[in-house]
Amino acid sequence: MGNPESLSGPPGQWLLTISPLTAELLPGVVALDEDCLGGFWAEAGYQREMDSPNSDLLVITRGMNREVLGVGCLWSILEEAHITLLVVRADRQRQGLGQALLGVLLGCACQRGLAWATLEVRCGNSPALALYRKFGFGSVGRRPHYYQNPQEDALILWQPKLQSSDFWALRQLLVEEAKNRLAVGGWQLDLGSFASPCPDQP
């Protein structure tokens, strides 16, 4: 039957969209960052990423007023996709939003022709670790005391097969799984241009 809160409200309230960050959404992203990350990037930092041809900076929004629920970013560095940011609003976590956003980000990396992806994550962040492992990331190292407030080591994760057909099939499957999870709660996820398939993989 779905989430009861999805059964009421104005039309379009439960429409979710993944799209590149724009200036009009910048205040909502900065507020989300402050709430969830304690100010990881200020507005100038997000503006820098918006302006960079080597960054993919995406937001997931809800409804006609485009309420910001999550944000993700990757840097294109030679053949590497370095995922610098993936965060979903605290009261909307574990519903499939992060999985959908990560899947689209990795699709962007594939479209750029990048060969592998890497990121750092807190050792104790079990939900994030589980999500990344679903996408085939494995641990290749550890950075002691990498995080502060609270202090914690970081695991370095790596996904080496972005350009393989097996990875693309897995990514597609996990994005569809996220869409289905969201649909159970009454959410409709619109991927827009990101719904286009990746070019044929070797």
Q: Per-residue pLDDT tens for 5-63?
A: 443 455 466 899 999 999 999 999 999 999 999 899 999 999 999 999 999 999 999 99
pLDDT confidence bin for 200, thresholds 50/70/90: low
Q: How confident is the model at residue 2 (pLDDT cuts 50, 70, 90)?
A: very low
Q: What residues form DSSP beta bridges with 59?
A: 19, 71
Question: Residue 201's pLDDT band (boundaries 50, 70, 90)?
Answer: very low
Please name each of the domains of the chain with its CATH number.
Answer: 11-191 (3.40.630.30)
d(CA 43, CA 45): 5
Q: Do 36 and 87 meet the contact criterion of CB atoms below 8 Å apart? A: yes
Q: How far is CA 34 from CA 40, 124, 162, in A?
A: 7, 21, 31
Span 108-127, average pLDDT: 95
- Confidence band, pLDDT 50/70/90 cuts, at residue 177: very high
Q: Are 162 and 117 a contacting pair, CB within 8 Å?
A: yes
185 pLDDT tier (thresholds 50, 70, 90): confident
Residue 194: its pLDDT value, please?
81
Mean pLDDT of 170-195: 91
